[in-house]
Structure 1
Amino acid sequence: MDKFSLKGKRAVITGGGSGLGFGIAKAYIEAGATVIIVGKNLQKLINAKEELGESCEYIQFDVTNLSKIPELVNNIEVKIGPTDILVNCAGTHLKKNALDTTDADFLEILNVHLLSVFALTREFAKRMAERKKGCVILISSMSAVMGMKQVVAYSTGKTAIVGMMRSMVAELAIDNVRINTIAPGWIDTPMLHKAIDQDEPRKQKILNRIPNNTFGTPEDIGYAALYLASDASKYVNGVFLPVDGGAAEAF
């Protein structure tokens, strides 16, 4: 079981203050890692730090501030230490019909779910490649697998990072930098509740699509991310892993 240990590893998790990012941070700390959670909501970061304990540090930062990402990465590497694992988990949501989605709406979502993900991955991967080791985990979505209404911008971003992953895997595998993608299904998080709490028909339609007939938990994503970050998956590279209670297959 030592292959699943992250003892001595340092992980940066964007969006780690709540939801899926928090679930991943918790799993990593349980496995022995030191975790740096990054997010723009200071109170969420403080609350997460209190719960996660001494193995957690936090940095307040808006990942859509693309021009400042190289400085962020450099500060983490210099002040905290070399990063072994990057998890791109920061997220936001927009529920809007495609024909009502403005260019500004579309770009706002892509900034969070695609442009910042590329910039962070690029900057951390430069250093990982120099050290000849590193792991990047991207968070996609079931909306990259199945067509869903009212999420055109979100779906576009979550689909595009899969193509980004494949291209970067082809370049970075030689430097022992692995990049994999998790596609969560419908997970019991604040973002999910924001999307469905006022839409009972949509909630029931979603549950009917899930063979397990229940929403997942952040822990389900956390342990999948733990496997992909550990030495147990050292020969796993470029994988698109649904964690969805069978929803993708049922679709």
Structure 2
Amino acid sequence: MTDFTKTYRRTTYPAISPTNPSNSQSGRKVCIIGASEGIGFEIAKAYIEAGAAEVTICGRNEMKLKIAAIQLEQQTREDFGRTEARVLDAGNVEDVKHFWQTIKSEKRTIDILILSAAHTETINEFNPEDVATYFNQNCIAKLFMVDGFRRAKRARPEGVEPAEEPVLIDLSSAGLMGYPYPKAAYSASKAGFTTWLCHLSDMIEDMRIINFHPGAVFTPAAERSGEAPRDLKIWDDPSLSAHMAVWLSTPAAAFLHGRFVWANWDVEELMGMKDRILADPGFIKIGVSGVENFSIAGLVQKCEEQPLKKD
């Protein structure tokens, strides 16, 4: 999978940059779930830079959200609409239902929904209750998040139309493809939700759905876990995943509806594969379709061959 495109990206580049006029998000309202820090926060910054009309960040920790919102406000452009923070436990079904009820009661609209929150804690992989917690948070609760987004789209207030088609982007993981992988419940729960979205996309034509592996980013959560040191060669620059999310919500990426892509793949090369992708309904979707499998060892080797160049 690291060689799917000839160019293996490690940081941002002009084709996905939020300052590229073709990636403008002007007039669009974005909601990012799991954005108080890490990749979700970087994605929020990228959408602001791309000129989104409104960016809502959601997370469980109110204090972290407030700090993140202040930081985002400090970087907003003069013509930017607003940044809003909402406390939400995206792994709790009742919280998710309440969130969408509130959006409806406030007659708010969301054009782009980014699912960045995930349960990643180390557990006893042989304890069914621990494993069930992973599935409840990384799969079940997210089903209700998608349902709420679809219902909100159908219930859009009269006279209010989205700037473009509604877009749902889920931050999945290459971990669901890798064997061996140390976190079985994480990998399996991610695989379950990502596979469901791949199938759901075949039934939906009025909303874009894209799954993407955001690359390997040394986030605050990764640092707190202590599972991998900062100096590993696999870490990509956070701008790669953030700017890839912006590009995936542009008209240019519409052909990737229902697919699973890597942030490390070069988007211009992907666009060159457009006809091939559209011709095969199972191409770059989750499943056993004869493509090469992913391995941690292969990723490390690729990153050694293609080191991240820093200014």
Common fold by TM > 0.5:
yes
**Would you say 1:187 and 2:207 are equivalent positions?**
no
SS of residue paired to 1:157: helix
Rounded Cα–Cα distance in structure 2 between residues aligned with 1:227 and 1:243 = 10
Match of 2:176 among 144, 150, 153: 144
TM-score by length of 2: 0.69
Structure 2 letter corresponding to 1:183: H
Could you tell me how far 1:69 is from its partner in structure 2?
2.1
SS of residue paired to 1:238: coil
1:115 aligned partner = 140
Determine which structure has more spread, i.e. the larger CA radius of gyration.
2
Check whether the contact 1:17–1:38 (CA below 8 A) recurs between aligned residues. Answer: yes
Match of 2:40 among 21, 28, 36: 21
1:224 aligned partner = 244
1:178 aligned partner = 208
Could you tell me how far 1:217 is from its partner in structure 2?
2.9
Q: How does 1:71-86 map to 2 (within 5 A)?
A: 71-79=98-106, 81-86=108-113
Could you tell me how far 1:144 is from its partner in structure 2?
1.0
**If each structure's helix is expressed as a fraction of its own residues, which one has the higher value?**
1
Residues 1:129 and 1:178: Cα distance change in structure 2 (over 3 Å): farther
Q: Which runs of 5+ in 1 are unaligned?
A: 208-212
1:98 aligned partner = 125
- Equivalent pairs, count: 237
Match of 1:155 among 187, 194, 198: 187
TM-score by length of 1: 0.84
Could you tell me how far 1:188 is from its partner in structure 2?
1.2
Instruction: Write out per-residue CA displacement over residues 61-116 of structure 1, whole angstroms, 9 at most, x where no aligned residue.
Output: 112221342331132244262110111111231234633xx122112222221112
Could you tell me how far 1:42 is from its partner in structure 2?
0.6
Percent identity, aligned pairs only?
Answer: 25
SS of residue paired to 2:203: helix
SS of residue paired to 2:122: coil
Could you tell me how far 1:198 is from its partner in structure 2?
5.5
Structure 2 letter corresponding to 1:105: D
Residues 1:130 and 1:75: Cα distance change in structure 2 (over 3 Å): closer
Check whether the contact 2:215–2:241 (CA below 8 A) recurs between aligned residues. Answer: no
Match of 2:63 among 19, 43, 47: 43
Rounded Cα–Cα distance in structure 2 between residues aligned with 1:57 and 1:160 = 31
1:210 aligned partner = none
Rounded Cα–Cα distance in structure 1 between residues aligned with 2:99 and 2:72 = 22
Match of 1:56 among 80, 83, 89: 83
Deviating 4+ runs (over 4 angstroms): 129-132, 244-249
2:278 aligned partner = none
Q: Which runs of 5+ in 2 are unaligned?
A: 1-19, 77-81, 157-161, 267-292, 300-311
Check whether the contact 2:123–2:130 (CA below 8 A) recurs between aligned residues. Answer: no
Rounded Cα–Cα distance in structure 2 between residues aligned with 1:31 and 1:40 = 26
SS of residue paired to 2:132: helix
Check whether the contact 1:66–1:116 (CA below 8 A) recurs between aligned residues. Answer: yes
Q: After alignment, is 27-36 or 146-155 more displaced?
A: 146-155
